[in-house]
Structure 1
Amino acid sequence: MRPVLLTTTALALMLSATPAEASKRGWAKASDISRDLVVGFSLALPAYHGDWRGLGSTGLALGVTGAATAGLKYAIPETRPDGSDRKSFPSGHTSISFAAAASLHKRYGWQAGLPAYALASFTGLARVKADKHYVHDVIAGAALGTAGGWLLNSKRNDKVEWLPWASHKGGGVSLSMRF
């Protein structure tokens, strides 16, 4: 099955099963499912193609993003909107989902990345609707995950590669082409 069809089908199923007025518990469950779907696809697609380098780099991106998220949760003990604990910042569900989506995008192109980003965005939305995170927690998680996925992966076809970069004096995009 093509990557875009696989992730689009999962996204359509997810959105069709989400009621307009879901409970906070329902949104939390939906965020668990959407996170698991995008992470599962990010690991299954390279395995399906026998792309062991891609599988390893995606696993590395997920691991580093998870560790960085845990470190930030420890360093910045923000209380969750529902008051359940002090592990709100940044959103772990969102950071892992975006690391998976960015890994798919970087490795397989926008056809796999676009539906994966949509699913990752749904994960972040569901975390806010579940009252588990503030919007800034989700934005920080998305930025952290995207950076992890982009920086720790390479394109499957490395003839054209672009990499966003930033420093204290500015930022930009580096483009390299091999002929």
Structure 2
Amino acid sequence: MVFLKWLIPILLMYQVAFAEEERTLQFEDKSYLKDVGSDLISPLTTPAKWILLGGTITTGMMYITRKDITYRKRESFREAKPLGKLGFIGDYVGYGLLNLGYSSYYLWQGKFHDDPKALERAEHMLRATTYTVALTTALKYTISEKRPGYPDDHHSFPSGHSSASFAFASVVALQHGWFWGGVAHGAAAFIAISRANDDFHYLHDITAGMTIGASFAWGVYYNLQKGNPYWLTLVPVPKGAGLAMGLDF
């Protein structure tokens, strides 16, 4: 949710900046609902289903054995606090800062350097993150699980920080290879661990979030690879002043 709140002002900023150069963010009259529907079920209909299956089984086993294993691990983990007082870093960054920073950079790169590949990278991140946040939010309000350390808060399952950060890490791996993908997954793991470190989530909350984020990142990637259209494109502006960014709807 926070990611989407931050995304709107960023897009408005781009709109103003492009308008000053006779460049506008265009919304063209094309159907996109079919593509959105395809993306939403991509964790089930593409090879991303194996990520979803493995993550779901892991999460289910953690939940089923929570009385014997998961909660004891969480309790000992909380006592150990491996991140000490650094958990606040994961808390803050995990609100979508990595996703937003990546998307903003490549939107800027694509626009002002006429780089279609940069726009494709930005769109991959935006689509994967949007679907991830949407499903995570829906599950939080539907399941309404109490947080381990904050029983008055009923939005524990699944972990939104974990889902957003692993959507980010998976997109980076797919777009830039496994060296940078490994770095991104390290950052995502830090964010996920910080949620248990500070007693915001059970382990099954975290693995569920990781599964959702990775599944959508890979699912959207497979859809784009098989020919689903990109929505962000570089198109000529009417007065020939350069190129504009078009969003096909």
TM-score, normalized by length of structure 1?
A: 0.67
Instruction: Quote how far apart the aligned CAs of 1:84 are.
Output: 3.5
Task: Indicate if the aligned counterparts of 1:106 and 1:154 stay in contact, CA closer than 8 A.
Answer: no
1:70 to 120, 137, 147: 137
The Cα of 1:85 is off from its aligned counterpart by 0.6
How far, CA to CA, are the matches of 2:144 and 2:92 in structure 1?
26
**One-letter amino acid of the structure 1 residue matched with residue 103 of structure 2:** L
- 2:131 is the alignment partner of 1:131: no
Contact 1:81–1:133 (8 Å) recurs in 2: yes
Change (3 A) 1:101 1:122: same
Which sits farther off after the overlay, 37-46 or 133-142? 37-46
- C-alpha contact 1:95 1:145 (8 A) present in aligned 2: yes
User: In the alignment, what sits opposite 2:84?
Assistant: 22
In 2, distance between residues paired with 1:74 and 1:57? 26
**CA distance 1:147–1:130, change in 2 (3 Å):** same
User: How well do the aligned residues superpose, as a CA RMSD in angstroms?
Assistant: 2.5
Which structure's relative contact order is higher, taking Cα pairs within 8 Å and 6+ residues apart? Answer: 2
CA distance in 1, matches of 2:171, 2:162: 14
Q: Does 1:111 align with 2:179?
A: yes
1:1-179 equivalences in 2 (<5 Å): 22-23=84-85, 26-27=86-87, 29-35=88-94, 36-44=96-104, 46-47=106-107, 50=110, 51-82=118-149, 83-153=151-221
Identity of aligned residues (%): 31
Show CA shifts across 1:73-111 (max 9, x none).
122111001113110000001100000111111112112
What do residues 40-90 of structure 1 show as CA deviations (whole Å, max 9, x unaligned)?
453255346531122112101100000000011122111001113110000
TM-score calculated relative to the size of structure 2: 0.49
CA distance in 2, matches of 1:44, 1:155: 23
CA distance in 1, matches of 2:148, 2:169: 26
Contact 2:162/2:191 (CA < 8 Å) preserved in 1? yes
One-letter identity of the residue aligned with 1:46? Y
Q: Is there any run of 5+ residues in structure 2 with no aligned partner, and where?
A: 1-80, 111-117, 226-249
Deviation of 1:138 (Å): 0.5
